Amino acid sequence: MKKLIILISLIALVLLLSCSQSIPAQPTVIVAPSPGPSAEPAAPVAEVLPPPPLNFSCTLTADCAEGKQCIDGQCGTVEALYTTACPSKCNFEEVIISTSDGDTYTLSKGQGSYTAAGALEWKLISVPNYCPLEKVIVPIRIIAKNYSKIVGEYALTLQEGETSERIIHPAIPSVEFTVTVDKVKEKCE
């Protein structure tokens, strides 16, 4: 019964968050008199201001429009994280990751693991060939499951030497986890 209440609460939270995204505002028109002396009344001049920036913040990929995913709390694409217009390109071949469970993994794109008997799954996301970077951005997909059903999914990015914030399962608060990108091995052409 408690699990059903938690699941219903999670669904309500997701619906509430998806409804709270900003709606594009209409441009503001400011009317000001035209400068200069004249015998006739000044004709109004309309100045169109751009709409305020849209808020594309998210908690889960389900909060984002189709084709986008929730990456570091913002709706976007993995491709947008990288610059690809350059003569020489790179990509990561291996990433050494350690976890708060005390495990260390040497992984390539698409590989990952899980914790808490599969309640939290994580894997490296494939990236496009990118221009050489001082520190490589490594995107990691986090998938929360409850009874083998996906209850939430999002991505986070880390660079070599960085540790994620605490990753908490949305339906099982006692499940906490962190990942650290220890080393990134790149291949550049």
List the pLDDT tens digit at each of the 189 positions of the chain: 555 455 455 454 444 444 444 434 344 334 444 444 545 544 444 444 444 444 458 999 999 999 999 999 999 999 999 999 999 999 999 999 999 999 999 999 999 999 898 899 999 999 999 999 888 999 999 999 998 899 999 999 999 999 999 998 888 888 888 999 999 999 998
Closest by Cα among 32, 167, 46 to 101: 167
The residue extents of the domains of the chain are 53-188
CB 155 within 8 A of CB 70: yes
pTM for the full predicted model: 0.68
